[in-house]
Amino acid sequence: MTRSYTFPTPCDFHVHLREGNMLDLVAPMTAREFGRALIMPNTAKPILTGLDATRYRAEILDVVEEADIHDFDPLMTIKLTKETTPDTILGAGEFVIAAKLYPEGVTTNSDDGVKSVRDLYPVFEEMQRQDMVLCIHGEEPGVFVMDREEAFLNRLGMIATSFPKLRIVLEHVTTAAGVQKVHDLGDNVVATITAHHLFLTLDDVLGSRLHPHHFCMPVAKRPHDRAALLGVALAGDRQFFLGTDSAPHTKDAKQCADGCAGVFTAPVAMPLLLDLFDSQNRLAELSAFTSSNGNRFYGGRPMRKLATYRQEAWKVPSEYPLDGSPMNYPACLVPFRAGATLAWKRKE
Amino acid sequence: MTRSYTFPTPCDFHVHLREGNMLDLVAPMTAREFGRALIMPNTAKPILTGLDATRYRAEILDVVEEADIHDFDPLMTIKLTKETTPDTILGAGEFVIAAKLYPEGVTTNSDDGVKSVRDLYPVFEEMQRQDMVLCIHGEEPGVFVMDREEAFLNRLGMIATSFPKLRIVLEHVTTAAGVQKVHDLGDNVVATITAHHLFLTLDDVLGSRLHPHHFCMPVAKRPHDRAALLGVALAGDRQFFLGTDSAPHTKDAKQCADGCAGVFTAPVAMPLLLDLFDSQNRLAELSAFTSSNGNRFYGGRPMRKLATYRQEAWKVPSEYPLDGSPMNYPACLVPFRAGATLAWKRKE
């Protein structure tokens, strides 16, 4: 008998959908697995205003509807830069529910990130007033890579203390220290956890061979850090929920002398999580991690529609070709767990 | 006026020359920069006996002489495996001056490495009797990648204490803890330091982008670890000397989904070291690091021939083509600092 599991349609509270032919390829993948997703604003031409976000949202919905998916709910964000003002927040409009802070230079397309976080305090003030969520890539620039997240936690604490009603997300938490800090700061501070950080440590990136498709920012940390992430995710801890940070880059941009950071998990994150929660006898906590905790925090409607995953072996493609790339030099995306056989699959 | 610096011809006390067309390409590069080199035995078909080493030495000399270099002195090693016996050591012959221990599975071609180091104690006993040097890849298998070297140091201490007259090299030391342990263990224990570990930390491997040509085992560690290596190298500390661990792999084997560990430094190590020691006003200590410390430890003749390097800008090739690879899919090697302009060059 095939086992199956039905639960509220999962949501991804941190995803990169990109633009152009990349958007065409990856947006339907996300929309097939997730009923709702928080769309990151660090596109090549960044999403800086409510108008940008409204246009980008329409573009995403066009692509998804073209793929015959009609119930996807993209939640929009804008990127904070040194040009952002309280008026940007006031005029952000109905679709923008969060603004994203990238400390300068720590991740993809963050060269226009923010150097002095304090300069943004008037913006945070307005966000607190408007009840807009602050999403933070929590790594301190200039610090040794393994210490960058922990070094940022004091700054996180200062922001949370200065704006006690501002809702804050420490995105893609990777350390035990980060988990502890979120607990310490209380209910207005939460963290997303990616799927891949539940499976990887630095050993899987460069412990014997080099695995570019396991390389992302923040980098996977130590075994005890991974254990801390698993602890709160599998417990359904209400301060933690899924944000895959699925971050597609072409194979050539990953497997080269100067490779991009990012793990592309959109098509595999949920099957992997089903397997993980099932193997730990925690399927009952899955929907807390993949929908209710995030929706409660963001104030979204609970997911009424259900999703069913079945235990059915399938092989992850070794790559996904990108339309519109040159015939003689086709570009493609390599997903996390390329070529592996996964145990769970969403029922159409 | 062009500055130049003349000093005893440098030696490389840890280098991988490989076999076949790779050997043809890299052996002359090493022989042009180094008058003497300790040749690692972990070829695809490993060097396990004196006979293997004698044959491999002849092959190396053939290649080097073919390149019109007639004064290269390859020092040979054998690889310790679970099949190695005291008789292997007794019969190793005149060219083998060291035997190399690879704890299982931690580096390239070490799958036949040694699981229980204690099983080799009779072999170490014979090595001590014959005054053969023990070279160790000092990483403890199964430990988190950043902790592997430090976790091995107790074992190093046990070997050194059990065989007080055995001369031991902790190869390619990468940590401050390793440097300290070598100091603590006294004159019969030394360490080699690579050129690249004097320049890199983990930040240069994956601190923002992924740099496969900076990836090696042991991986580059923290800033304070690099500082400890620089401290002893620039001081000419007699327990430390150059072993480049130049480890060529084809570009395809490096820039792929499952990349090989190893940094190919043969053509650039000495120019980089000239620049480093010069910039720190330590040129006077260079020959301690690059020849006298190693020769004193190994009991080799001092280098009588001199080498001159001139301050002359040159651009490191982006790659070196390998002869004999398919015309439509040429293989090549990417050197450390590919495409960079270096300040020093050896005078022909």
| pLDDT (tens digit per residue) in A268-304 | 999 999 999 999 999 999 999 999 999 999 998 888 8
Predicted confidence band of residue A114 (pLDDT cuts 50, 70, 90) = confident
Query: For the segment B154-208, what is each residue's pLDDT rounded down to a tens digit?
Result: 999 999 999 999 999 999 999 999 999 999 999 999 999 999 999 999 999 999 9
CA A212 – CA A208 distance, rounded (Å): 13
Tell me which of B116 and B122 has the higher pLDDT: B122
Q: Is A318 on the interface with B (CB under 8 A)?
A: no
Q: Which amino acid is at A64?
A: V
Distance, CA of B244 to CA of A321 (rounded, Å): 41
Q: Do B202 and A145 touch (CB under 8 A)?
A: yes
Distance from CA of A222 to the nearest CA of B (A): 7
- Which residues in chain B are closer than 8 Å to A143, comparing Cβ atoms? none
Q: Coil, helix or strand for B191?
A: strand
Q: Provide the pLDDT for residue B290.
A: 98
**A18 Ramachandran zone, left/alpha/beta (phi>0; psi -120 to 50):** left
| Residue to substitute from A148, A174, A210, A249, interface B, most B β-carbons within 10 A | A210
Question: Number of CB pairs < 8 Å for A and B?
Answer: 85
Listed in sequence order, the residues at least 6 apart from A71 whose beta carbon sits closer than 8 Å to its beta carbon are A35, A305
How many Cβ atoms sit within 10 Å of the Cβ of residue B258?
Answer: 12
What average pLDDT does this structure show over B276-303?
Answer: 96
Residue B326 has pLDDT above 90, yes or no: no
B73-79 and B189-193 strand pairing: unpaired
Q: Where are the beta strands (DSSP E) in B158-212?
A: 168-170, 189-193
Higher pLDDT, B243 or B115: B243
**pLDDT the model gives residue B193:** 99
Mean pLDDT of chain B: 95
- Position A246 pLDDT exceeds 70: yes
Nearest-CA neighbor of A156 among A183, A119, A182?
A182
Give the pLDDT score at A117. Answer: 87
Sheet hosting strand A240-242, strand order edge to edge: A11-15, A36-39, A73-79, A96-101, A133-136, A168-170, A189-193, A240-242
User: Is the Cβ of A151 closer than 8 Å to some Cβ of chain B?
Assistant: no
- Checking if the pLDDT of B328 tops 70, the result is no
Sort strands A11-15 and B320-321 into parallel, antiparallel or unpaired.
Answer: unpaired
Residue A304 is which amino acid?
R
* Alpha carbons B346 and B334: distance in angstroms, whole number: 20
The enclosing H or E element of A73 equals strand A73-79
In chain A, the percentage of residues whose pLDDT exceeds 70 is 97
Rounded Cα distance, A167 and B51, in Å: 71
- Would you call B202 and A144 a contact, using CB atoms and an 8 Å cutoff? yes
Residue in B209, B258, B338 nearest the CB of A259: B209
What's the pLDDT tens digit per position in B6-17? 999 999 999 999
B152 pLDDT higher than 90: yes
- Reported as a single tens digit per residue, the pLDDT across B81-96 is 999 999 999 999 999 9
CB pair distance less than 8 Å for A217 and B203: no
Name, in order, each residue with C-beta under 8 angstroms of B91's C-beta and a sequence gap of 6 or more.
B49, B50
B31-60 confidence digits (pLDDT tens):
999 999 999 999 999 999 999 999 999 999
* Model pLDDT, residue A125: 98
- Which residue stretches of chain A are H helix? 20-33, 50-66, 86-90, 121-130, 148-162, 176-185, 202-206, 223-234, 251-254, 269-279, 283-287, 293-298
Per-residue pLDDT tens digits for A49-76: 999 999 999 999 999 999 999 999 999 9
Please state, in angstroms and as integers, the Cα–Cα distance from residue A180 to each residue in A94, A157, A163, A174, B250, following that order. Answer: 34, 12, 20, 11, 44
pLDDT, averaged across chain A:
95
Q: Are A133 and A168 in contact (CB under 8 A)?
A: yes
Contact A102, A114 (CB under 8 A): yes
pLDDT of res. B33: 98
Instruction: Answer yes or no: is pLDDT of A126 > 90.
Output: yes
- Model pLDDT, residue A345: 97
**Closest CA relative to residue A274, chosen from A240, A234, A243:** A234
Contact of B25 with B322, CB cutoff 8 Å: yes
B318 close contact with A: CB closer than 8 A: no
ipTM for the predicted complex comes to 0.95
Q: What is the pLDDT of residue B106?
A: 61
pLDDT at A104: 79
What's the pLDDT score for residue A107? 67
Residue A106 has pLDDT above 90, yes or no: no
Those residues with Cβ within 8 angstroms of residue A276's Cβ, 6 or more apart along the chain or in another chain? A198, A199, A234
The predicted structure's pLDDT at residue A132:
98
d(CA B176, CA B284): 24
Asked if residue B70 lies in contact with residue B44, where contact means CB atoms within 8 angstroms, the answer is no
Count of C-beta atoms within a 10 Å radius of residue B86: 16
Confidence at residue A75, expressed as pLDDT on a 0 to 100 scale: 98
pLDDT band at B330 (very low <50, low <70, confident <90, very high): confident
By the 8 A CB rule, do B38 and B100 touch? no
Please tell me if residue A111 touches chain B, with a CB cutoff of 8 Å.
Answer: no
Residue with tokens 């998916």: A69
Pairwise CB contact (< 8 Å): B260 & A145 = no
What is the percent of chain A with per-residue pLDDT over 90, rounded to a whole number?
A: 90
A144–B259: do the CB atoms touch at under 8 Å? no
Question: How many angstroms separate the CA of residue B151 from the nearest CA in chain A?
Answer: 15
Instruction: Evaluate if residue A14 carries a pLDDT over 80.
Output: yes
Evaluate if residue B323 carries a pLDDT over 90: no
How do beta strands A73-79 and A96-101 pair?
parallel
Asked if pLDDT for residue B121 goes beyond 90, the answer is yes
- What's the CA angle centered on A271, arms A268 and A272, to 5 degrees? 80
Mutate to test the interface with B, among A104, A143, A208 (most CBs of B within 10 A): A208
Two tokens, residue B345: 């060059």
